[in-house]
Amino acid sequence: MSSSITAKPSMIDSLPHVEFYDLASRRYMRYIRPHARTWMAGWLLYQASYNRWVTLRMATPTDVARILVAQEKAQRSQERSLLRLSIENES
C-alpha cells in the first residue's frame, strides 16, 4: 500500500515542471523536473478533484522519455496546447 501527499497549487506552480493530460487515467498531471530543489523532484503528480496536486509515484525512465519526447514534438510544431500522452500505471 502506498501513501500520497497533497500540495497546494501555489506551491506546485512555483516548481519547474511539465504539465500534461494523461489519456490513460484521464487526469491532469505534472512531472516535477529533477533539478527542482524539493523532495518531489522526479515525481509524477495528478490534480485531484478538489484542485490540489497529489503525488502519484516517482517517474520511471520510460515515463520521462515519453514526456520529454511529447514536449519536444510540441515545441518543434510550436503547438501551444496541453501535452496529451499516456503514462502506464505501475503497481
Residue 91 has pLDDT above 50, yes or no: no
**What was the pLDDT predicted at 89?**
63
- pLDDT tens, 53-75? 999 999 999 999 999 988 888 77
- For 53-68, b where at least 16 C-beta lie within 10 A, e where not — what string? bbbbeebeeebbebbe
DSSP 3-state assignment of 44? strand
- pLDDT tens, 26-50? 999 999 999 999 999 999 999 998 8
